[in-house]
Structure 1
């Protein structure tokens, strides 16, 4: 345990960084004294750590969040009934997330140690602080051990996949790069709360040549083409805004939900973050299971093979099968968790940005519109059929609902 003088000096050194994030502090009086929201503080530490040195695979980063915040929740649920409970809780949350991050993102250890010192400098020395810190670290070590060799490291996630022979409806690598398939290994990974990756696998996509298939393909061909004459500028803007990583795009909305839950118990707020990421991990496992079970070809392959050999989508097609859309399974899961745990609407409008649309922001008052825009966006990008999108939303909601039902198994 650091001595008070050491921790105070480290806190002062970190003060400029804290001052840059006004969302982390709220005035407690007319004086300059400020109280830091430890949940938001360590939310931002987690997000910054993964942004700076996270894994190249999205699901691996969601896994890091899930482990750290499940461990924090478990430690908070075991808060002693006597003593300085709040001191214990704050130290426990910081200890759990810090231990997880220094283990999984060791390149950021110096920054993480400084963040921990900053948090501990605010907590009075004593048994509550030391016990909370130890409890958080212990729970992190326990959860890390339980997830060892779970198949969610980048190499396992992108295990090699050999496409079957080309044929109608069968996925093949897509132009312009014809890159090898990605995310195949997800379907063999260990879920957090699914009984098996195929637990909620939807039925197959529409048969090639069926009415629904033809309607889907005609819509993508018309509105998703690079040189579309029917897609509006507003639709192009929506497609571009939602083009990037779902993990990145949903980090801000989840933070909004965490901030709006400030009056809830710290354990409930930690549980919100934990379950969001547990659901997202399980959803990505279920998504890859379904994608590679059906191996459905992408619109660019279908359109070039049957109608227009030069057709090109607005955005480059990702290197995995069409059905279901991974962006939309993620959106469905996110909406399910946020609506269930914090309600469908926010107390006030919130604004988010997108790395794929620099300088552009969008404002929302809830979570459902994010899902609706994701469904449309993937069609207007020319990279998914609408059926793949709507099936993805349903799958994500089902997997997330399962995570919420089974959550107690995580926190025992």
Structure 2
């Protein structure tokens, strides 16, 4: 498999019992950085397989990307023989990660106690919706649900005239996935020091509340509160891309240096002497009026004229890019961010690995595998005999797919 095993995590083996996006995104990062990620799926496979578009009805574009570099082992874990096989695989694994609610993983007999008995050094990661010690623990959770529960939807309403709305990205899944990735790496590092495995928990809800409240806790960090839990600069209705004479532009005039440079570029107009522009504190206290005034000024020139002015003044500014624009962005092309290759699913374009390592760079592996494509190979590597593999197949505990890798 191209790309697999190259990177700072080469030699780490992960049993990946996750589906949809949160868990697979976390383990995609591990695969990109060299880990051997064994994706364990049931007989019908990860539901994300079937999201269109795709050349293959069981491997849509999102699945191909978020499961790149992984191998597929298909087991029916409701069968005792499949559970026994998985526990045997765990004996030599470094990480076991799942995205099932606590009750569901417990019913399969695959909780931390079971995995620890098989391998005391294993890192056991729970990625699910809500922390298991709270009253929401058994509630199902998807990205929209957690966005709504975490305060993000309410905050978005402040920017859209009071109408609640979701962010235009599955932010809860991806932030929780990133958090899961760094938590697992931290546990692996601790194991190198102590020799001990451990169980870790990454709940989406708590993760997104932490993410949201970094800036929005604001005055409510104090007891008694000095203000509501809201960072007013971010939630001001005036905070939006600015209309120019011929379009829109993104501008961030943030610190005192930026504002001085902006006023100087405009010839220090009379309105710039208003005390509300004097400091970061005064601008924050009057953020709605500050941004509204700026919006009026931005309408007076074209986008290109503002870009030239802002870049000369070293003020952050950018055109508004669409996802289509990014496919041919000159910076991304110059850095080699997009990786194109011919695969069994046709020619594919992958987003690159965003992190760089001078000595141990990662590499993007092959697109997400066919269901059960690596079932035999994974079991053989772990000491299963051909007779044992055939017995698992006969009992329907093991599934192999078309195009199975030898």
- Does the alignment reach a TM-score above 0.5? no
TM-score, normalisation: structure 2: 0.27
More strand by share: 2
Larger radius of gyration: 2
More helix by share: 1
